[in-house]
Structure 1
Amino acid sequence: MVDEASKVDKSTIIVHSGDMDKIYSALIVSNGALSMGMEASLFFTFWGLQRLQKGGLDKGPLSKMHFLGLGKWMIKGRMKKANVASLERLIKDFKELGGKVIACEMTMEIMGISKEDLDQDLITEYGAVGTYVQEARNSKITLFI
């Protein structure tokens, strides 16, 4: 068992959802951790992994009030007015700040997603549950989004 004192100043987030607002949440929290000097890992699995497909980062619906795309369009407009960075900018910043993006190999197999289907510029490494557990067991912050 890892005691609290031996944990690294690090955050690890399971990105299970592909909903646009949840991807934003994961990236904003992770970029915040990195900007405060922490390490950060994002473990993309199930519907979250679909956002790592080529051209897929911004394709997810809103988790609430999607309204056949109208809600997402309205939210994106409000975010633009508030100067909120795009998902593409957030993940680019995340990688440049040293964040780690892990693609779940089990999910790839289950959903029939190959490495060629994924945007290689977004992914740091591939791994399975053991990879996530190792990241999380040494983290002070762990989240499931």
Structure 2
Amino acid sequence: MDKQDKTTLIVFDGDLDKAIASFIIANGAAAMGKKVTMFFTFWGLNILRKDQVVPVKKGFLEKMFAWMMPRGPEKLGISKMNFGGLGAKMMKYIMKKKNVATLAELMQMAKELDVEMIACTMSMDVMGIKEEELIDGLKFAGVATYLGEADQANINLFI
């Protein structure tokens, strides 16, 4: 595969608006025939969390992290003017009114377009996130895997 046929994104942020932008870019590149890799690290992992609590063994600090962080795409706030969740609700309302795909729909579209989604195992360890707590269909790897993909891509984005 030619370098021009690959795109990589580091999804570092877990804000709703940045997550939506990440998936719109990924889906657009995949629809253009590019191989797309999304590498979710630190707060970006919250996008991939299942919305229901999954029973896994955790230490005290891991439990605190899990309790404090949003659980999945429906619980994410926006980066500016969130106002305790009101901003995210307003954004979702406007998106629905304008027939813009939801984050969950964009994520499903990415799966259908064979976008590779990688959860950073080091970030998972630091934040106490277990594989069972994340959505199905992910790859679990470290930074070397992402760098290998990025080295072969002509577009590399950090969101």
Structure 2 length normalisation: TM-score? 0.84
Structure 2 CA distance, aligned partners of 1:57 and 1:68?
16
Partner of 2:33: helix, strand, or coil? coil
Name structure 1 gaps, 5 residues minimum: 1-5
**Structure 2 residue 61 is matched with structure 1 residue 65:** no
Partner of 1:139: helix, strand, or coil? coil
Cα deviation for residue 8 of structure 1 reads 4.4
- Offset from partner CA, 1:68-120 (integer Å, 9 cap, x none): 11111111111001101111111111111111000000011001111111112
Is contact 2:8–2:150 with CA below 8 Å preserved after alignment?
yes
Cα deviation for residue 58 of structure 1 reads 2.4
For 1:95, give the aligned amino acid. Answer: K
- Offset from partner CA, 1:18-73 (integer Å, 9 cap, x none): 00000000000010001111111110000001221112122211000101111111
Partner of 2:75: helix, strand, or coil? coil
**Structure 2 residue 15 is matched with structure 1 residue 34:** no
Residue in structure 2 matched with residue 76 of structure 1 by the alignment: 92
For 1:113, give the aligned amino acid. Answer: I
**Structure 2 residue 122 is matched with structure 1 residue 126:** no
Is contact 2:11–2:40 with CA below 8 Å preserved after alignment?
yes
Partner of 1:31: helix, strand, or coil? helix
For 2:150, give the aligned amino acid. Answer: A
Identity rate, percent: 48
Residue in structure 1 matched with residue 17 of structure 2 by the alignment: 21
Residue in structure 2 matched with residue 3 of structure 1 by the alignment: none
Structure 1 CA distance, aligned partners of 2:46 and 2:91?
21
Structure 1 length normalisation: TM-score? 0.91
Superposed CA RMSD in Å reads 1.1
Q: Figure out how many residues of one structure are paired with residues of the other and give that number.
A: 138
Structure 2 CA distance, aligned partners of 1:35 and 1:119?
22
Is contact 2:7–2:153 with CA below 8 Å preserved after alignment?
yes
Structure 2 CA distance, aligned partners of 1:60 and 1:89?
15
For 1:135, give the aligned amino acid. Answer: E
Structure 2 CA distance, aligned partners of 1:135 and 1:58?
29
Which consecutive aligned stretches of 4+ in structure 1 deviate over 4 angstroms post-superposition?
none
